[in-house]
Chains A and B, each alone.
Chain A
C-alpha cells in the first residue's frame, strides 16, 4: 500500500484469487480504471486465468496457481495498472441501451407493501420515500431525475446478469437512497431498484434489499436463450453498458409484454465508443450526443 491515491491495493483471496481495490469510494474514474485494466488483461490473457471480474471500484482475478505463480500474476497486474494510469487514453467499445420502465407499477407496489416492517418509512412507498429524502417535491420530479440522465453499468453480478448502474451526473446530483433496514425475501423479476448510489435491475425473482421504483418489461436474463436478444448469450448486460431509462405507461408496458410473449421483443441498443474525459468535461452535451446515437434511424 502507498499513499498515492491512484495506486491500487492488492490482496490475496486464498490460493486462487487476487483482489484489487482501485479506490475505497465509488467514482466513474475508479470504475473506468477497473474496466481499462481488466480489458487489457483479457487481451493479454496469460495461461491459468479462470475469471476476470471488473467491479465498481475494484476487480478480481481467479486463477490456477499451478499454471501461473501468484507473484508472477501479481507483477503482471501491477504492470498493467502502471500502463493504464488514469485511463484517460482508454476508449471503451460499448453500447447505449434503452430500458423502458413502468414506474410505480402494481407488482413492486404489492411487494413493497408486504415488507413495510423492514423499511425506514412504513407509511410511504419506496419511491415516495426516495423522492422526499432526495429533496424532490413529487414522485414525478424524482422520476424525471432518475430517467433524464444515463447510467453507467459499473458491475454485473450478485446474481446472474444483474447490472449495477452508476448515474452519470456530478456526485452532488446523484440519487442516494439507503437499502432496506432488513432485506426482503421477495423481489419481482425485472424490478428497477436502487441502493446507496447504485441503480440495479433484478434479473431474477428473489431476495433483495434495494428500494423498488418500478419494473421493466424487458427480459435481461434468459437461461433458455429463446429470445432474439439472447441468441449468443443468456445474459444481456455487460460491464460498461450505458443505460437510458425511459418512462412508459401501462398500455406501452402491456404492448411490450405481448412482444416478449410472442418472442419478438428486442431491447433498443446502439454501439458506442466511450471515453471518460469528453464526458467529464461536458456531461450534459455528451449525454445529449449519446441520446442522438440511441435515437438515430
Chain B
C-alpha cells in the first residue's frame, strides 16, 4: 500500500481510459478527460497507456509514499514538488519511502495526471478503475485514503517527453466541431454567431460538462413537438453524444465530457471531435474559445493526426 493521501486537492480522482458498454443505462465512459496526457504519463513510467492514474484539477493533492516508486506528472502546468523541491513535468523521477509529493499553483491548463509505475490498483468496476462520482462508482480522494499500486519491474526514471510532443496550454483555444444533431433549430443568424463569436469558459466546468458564456443565439420559430416540453430549445429527450454541445434556451452552450449525463431534452447543435476533448479538458475558467466547424472527413484526418502523435510518444520508449 505505497501511497497515502495527506490532502486530497480540489477533486482528485482515479481515472484510466474509461469503460464502454454501459452508456445505454446512463453510465458514461468516464476516464481521464485528457486522454493524451494520461497515456503520456503512463508511458513515462513504463505502464500500459490505459493504466489508472490520478487526475487532479486546478490544485494538486499532497501524497506520501511508503515504498520506493517511479512517478511522472503530465497535463496541466501544476508544478510537482518532492519534499518541497520542484520537479519537472513530463519527466519520470524516482521517489523513496517517506517522500512527500505536493504541488505549486497552477500556471496553465486545468488537469494534471500523476502516474505511478505499476498503475493505481484500485478495484475494477464494470471493466475500468475510473471514478464516476454521480453514479457512486468510486469517489474523489479524501485525506487518509491509501491507494494500492500494481506490480511493476524495471527502471523507468529519467524518461522525458520532448517539448514538441507536449500539448500547448493556452487561454485562447480553437475547438473543432462537427455540426449536426439539432443544429436546424438554430436560425441562420444563431448558427453564424455560434461559430463566429468568442465563448468564455465559466467556472461551471467539471467532468460532466463545460459551460460557456457569450452571446444569446437566435433560434428558429418553433412549437416544440409532443413530449418535448415548452421551451423552443426543448427536444424529446434524446441520447447525448460524448462531446456534444447543447444550448438550453439558446444561451450558454455546454460541452458534455466523459462523465456526461447520457441524455436529456435540450437541443444539441454540434459535437467536439474526440481528440479535441483533451483541449477542452485543459481549459481553465475564462479560456476564450472559438468553435470551428469541420467536415466528417476532416474530423477523420484530425483523428489520424492525433493517433500518430500518440504513437510518437509510445515509440519514444518502445
The chain A residues found within 8 Å of chain B, CB to CB, are: 11-17, 19, 21, 23-27, 50-60, 62, 65-66, 70, 155-162, 164, 166, 171, 178-179, 195-198, 203-204, 206, 221, 223, 234-235, 237-239
Contacts and interface: CB of A to CB of B under 8 A. Distances in A.
Given A50-B20, A53-B262, A57-B236, A238 B25 contact: yes
Contact of B239 (A16, A157, A171, A203): A157
A171 B225 CA distance: 13
A24 B225 contact: yes
B246 to A, nearest CB: 12
B180 A204 contact: no
Contacts of A166: 227
B135 A204 contact: yes
Contact of B25 (A66, A178, A235): A235
12 contacts: A11-B181, A15-B300, A16-B242, A19-B181, A26-B228, A60-B238, A62-B20, A65-B300, A156-B26, A158-B26, A160-B135, A235-B26
A162 B303 CA distance: 33
A14 B25 contact: no
A160 B181 contact: no
B134 A60 contact: no
Given A14-B244, A24-B236, A51-B20, 20 more contacts: A12-B271, A13-B178, A13-B268, A14-B272, A15-B302, A16-B274, A26-B226, A26-B228, A51-B24, A53-B239, A60-B239, A62-B241, A160-B27, A195-B265, A221-B135, A221-B136, A223-B135, A235-B22, A237-B25, A238-B25
Interface in B268-318: 268, 271-274, 296, 299-300, 302-303, 307
Contacts of B22: 235
Contact of B26 (A21, A25, A57, A160): A160
A198 B239 contact: no
Contacts of B273: 14-15
A234 to B, nearest CB: 8
Given A13-B181, A24-B225, A159-B135, A50 B263 contact: no
Contacts, number: 179
| Nearest 7 interchain pairs by C-beta | A26-B227, A13-B241, A14-B271, A160-B135, A157-B262, A157-B26, A17-B241
Contacts of A52: 24
B139 to A, nearest CB: 10
Interface in B4-58: 20-27
Contacts of A206: 134
Contacts of B20: 50-51, 62
Contact of A13 (B23, B27, B134, B244): B244
Nearest to A58: B238
A239 B271 contact: no
A52 to B, nearest CB: 6
Contact of A14 (B21, B261, B274): B274
A196 B239 CA distance: 17
Interface residues of B, number: 51
Given A13-B244, A58-B238, A19 B226 contact: no
B236 A13 contact: no
A235 B271 contact: no
B51 to A, nearest CB: 20
B236 to A, nearest CB: 5
B26 to A, nearest CB: 4
Given A14-B243, A239-B24, A159 B178 contact: no
B124 to A, nearest CB: 13
A98 to B, nearest CB: 20
A26 B238 CA distance: 10
Contact of B296 (A27, A70, A157): A70
Given A51-B23, A57-B227, A158 B264 contact: yes
Given A14-B299, A195-B229, A223-B135, A58 B27 contact: no
Contacts of B195: none
Contact of B263 (A27, A158, A196): A158
Contacts of A162: 26
A25 B236 contact: yes
Nearest to A11: B180
A56 B271 contact: no
B239 A19 contact: yes
B281 to A, nearest CB: 15
A15 B226 contact: no
